Structure 1
Amino acid sequence: MPQIAQLTADNWYLASQLFWLLVVFAGIYLVIGRGMLPKIEATVDARDRKVADDLAAAKAAHAAADGLEESYRQQSDASRVAAQKAVAEAKDKAAKDAEKRLAKVDAELGDKLAAAEADVAAARKSAMAEIESVAAEAAGDLVAKLSGVKVGAADAKAAVKAVLHG
């Protein structure tokens, strides 16, 4: 290869190639190192700042969401307490209403029971009076049939009363 032969045969070509190698590398350094690299670093720094700002915004949004969640929980708890209080008040009111109605019905039943007991007592008294008169007649008839003696109605009633009440 002629390129390799030139390097070993003559030092002038070697020095020329080394010079141009240094010139090319210096050009590449100047173009990339001084021109492109600062732009790339600026872009990377801007991206890092953007990422940091986005993370800070996300943390702030997370904190705001936590605050909203806590507020929601407090409102939910307050609503639950208010609902339980309303239910308890409704139960108490219903119980009081039921007690009032029960007392009213109980009083009505007590009145009806007293009236029924009075009716039963009157019927018993009437029945006892009838039984006494029937028993007095029957006793008078029995004494008349058995002994042939006629007993007066007043005496028969007195004897029946003595036996029944005595």
Structure 2
Amino acid sequence: MPQISQLAATYMSQIFWLVVTFGLVFMVVGRGMLPKVQATIAGRDGQITGDLAAAAAARDAADQAETEWQARDAANRERAQALLAEARSTAAKASEATLAAANRQQADKLAAGEASIRAAADRAIAEIEGVAAEAAQAIVARVSGAQVSADEARAAVQKVLHA
């Protein structure tokens, strides 16, 4: 069969052009495009590596800033606690001083009131003694008809009242 004998020559020509085409594609893609793609991939890898390094540096800086902030916050809290304790102490001292002054005023008023009451009580007792002495004189004069002096009546009333 003659078609079979042509088959080898036809396929050989097709295989030749296939090899030539693939060779050209390999040269164009392998030598022309592949280095550009590899350079792009290497550039992206470098950029990603740089971005990751920058992100790690930013994270470290943020951690450092947070640590410094926490230290400042703790120091500020300590200062605030000290100021609060000082203010409480000052307020307590001022309250104690005010309370002591008020207590002194109340004690002075109480002492003055007690003295006034004692004086009024002494005057009342003196008046009662006077009235009782006069009543005793009048009773003795009416009952017995004897005259008792004011001093004797007063001494008798004082003796009875203070006994």
Residues 97-148 of structure 1: CA distance to partner in whole angstroms, max 9, x if unpaired?
Answer: 1111111121222222222222222112111111111111111222223333
Structure 2 match to 1:34: 31
State the partner residue of 1:140.
137
Structure 2 CA distance for aligned equivalents of residues 98 and 157 of structure 1 = 54
Written as runs of structure 1 = structure 2, the 5 A alignment for 1:93-108 is 93-108=90-105
Question: Residue 86 in 1 paired to residue 71 in 2?
Answer: no
Query: Which residue of the other structure, out of 17, 20, 24, is the alignment partner of 2:17?
Result: 20
Structure 1 unaligned blocks of 5 or more: none
Normalized against structure 1, the TM-score is what?
0.90
Instruction: Give the Cα–Cα distance (whole angstroms) in 2 for the partners of residues 137 and 114 of structure 1.
Output: 34
| Higher mean C-alpha displacement, 137-146 vs 27-36 | 137-146
Q: Does 1:119 align with 2:110?
A: no
Percent of residue pairs bearing the same amino acid type: 48
Which residue of 2 is the match for residue 52 of structure 1? 49
1:19-61 per-position Cα deviation (integer Å, ceiling 9, x unaligned): 0011001111111112111111111011011101100100100
Q: What is residue 128 of structure 1 aligned with on the other side?
A: 125
The TM-score with structure 2 as length reference comes to 0.91
CA distance in 2, matches of 1:93, 1:81: 18
